[in-house]
Amino acid sequence: MKFERFGGQANPRRDKRFGSNRNDVPCSPCEHEDSVSSKIKDFREHKSAKALLVSKTLSKSFENTKIATRFCLSRIQGIRGTFTAIVTPFDKNGEVDEEGLRRNVDFQIENGICGIVPVGTTGESATLTAEEHKHVIEIVVDHVAGRVPVVAGTGSNSTAESIEYTQHALDAGADAALMISPYYNKPTQEGIYQHFKKVAESVDIPIILYTVPSRTVVNIEAPTTIRLSKIPNIIGIKDASGDLDQITRVLTECPGFLVFSGDDSLNFPTIVLGAHGAISVASNVAPRLVSDAVTAALKGDIKEARRLHNMLHPLYKVLFIETSPSPVKAAMKMMGAPAGDPRLPLVQMSEDGKKKLRKVLADLDLI
């Protein structure tokens, strides 16, 4: 399927400029020497001696081999690339637009995204009811149907609630959980450590930490991340701290621990430092472009990665000139994609902001 304006006709000029049919280009995890599918088959059939050895080793840390097997598979499947922190679309009555969400999932996968992250900050988890939160995860898992990994947002400032959401994500069939650090409470670093440790011990699902101090006030500092990386089913972190020194330390001191850029404007330098990909907001709007930029950086094609990064940089910045996800929802509406308005206390993007956003989208030939 050719890249197209959402719901519109394919644009030959854009296809020529931005790349060919994404269905012919494997997601970056599939570019490893051994294919993902082959490795997963080996694990599932228990025919790989290495897999069995890892499984036995992990079993010492886990209570049963089922957990160890899930962990091994998650460490392989979807390990690199672009994951979209997908918006939660609302209908004209402010209710979750289930069909719109399914359409958005298809749009993402058809344009090369390697994974979907529902009910994160961009998915307005803060203003979803508990029932809606769980239902959105169920919709995404159901509609993705195994095509790409689903990393469900399950964080909360209540440890007990985090355990509830994380257990639900596991039961719903998510591949992993993305857990933001507790917000508002302002826990110490020891409190952050104990929070994640408790959830990880309570639910047998791979967990990716999420630090975004601009939202939570408290950062997950590098020494805390390093401690948490020793817990077997805490497998990575989405870092939106903006601190490249912190990211470098985690990459250096935690070999094998997954690190994802959580700030689109820093995707390029973060991946050059050794990160495994990005969990992106901008990919809601330009999935193919963002995916191509991340893939080029992962391949070490610095010239192409820099070109795409510089092309996308105005989009990265304009999507945060007002509180996210208001700008990304405005952009999707301009493109004809299901989005709806953000829920209060967030409001629609200002007219001045929309004017700036519309120019950036037009310059990228997205509208």
Query: By CB neighbour count within 10 A (0-12 exposed, 13-18 middle, 19+ buried), where does 135 fall?
Result: middle
If you average pLDDT over residues 77-87, what whole number do you get?
85
The pLDDT value recorded for residue 6 is: 60
If you average pLDDT over residues 54-68, what whole number do you get?
41
Q: Where along the chain do its domains lie? A: 28-77, 81-320
Lowest model confidence (mean pLDDT) among 18-22, 26-30, 73-77, 346-350: 18-22
pLDDT band at 7 (very low <50, low <70, confident <90, very high): low
Query: Does 85 score more than 60 pLDDT?
Result: yes
Helix, strand or coil, per DSSP, at residue 121: coil
CA dihedral 162, 165, 166, 172 (to 10 degrees): 180
Helix, strand or coil, per DSSP, at residue 293: helix
Lowest model confidence (mean pLDDT) among 44-48, 134-138, 182-186, 340-344: 44-48
DSSP E strands, 101-172? 115-117, 151-153
> Tens digits of per-residue pLDDT, 190-201?
999 999 999 999
Lowest model confidence (mean pLDDT) among 19-28, 113-122, 124-133: 19-28
| Cα–chain center distance at 222 | 20
Neighbours of 80 (CB within 10 A): 20
Domain 81-320 has CATH 3.20.20.70: yes
The pLDDT value recorded for residue 112 is: 94
If you average pLDDT over residues 77-103, what whole number do you get?
92
Mean pLDDT of all residues belonging to the chain: 85
The pLDDT value recorded for residue 80 is: 87
pLDDT band at 218 (very low <50, low <70, confident <90, very high): very high
Query: Does 161 score more than 50 pLDDT?
Result: yes
If you average pLDDT over residues 128-157, what whole number do you get?
97
Query: Does 106 score more than 70 pLDDT?
Result: yes
347 Cβ contact partners less than 8 Å away, ≥ 6 residues apart: 326, 341
Nearest to 77 by CA among 115, 116, 24: 115
Query: Does 158 score more than 50 pLDDT?
Result: yes
The pLDDT value recorded for residue 351 is: 97
Percent of the chain with pLDDT over 70: 78
The pLDDT value recorded for residue 239 is: 98
If you average pLDDT over residues 322-332, what whole number do you get?
97
The pLDDT value recorded for residue 56 is: 40
| Cα–chain center distance at 219 | 19
Tally the residues of the chain: 367
Lowest model confidence (mean pLDDT) among 23-37, 78-92, 205-219, 282-296: 23-37
Which residues are part of the catalytic machinery? 210, 238
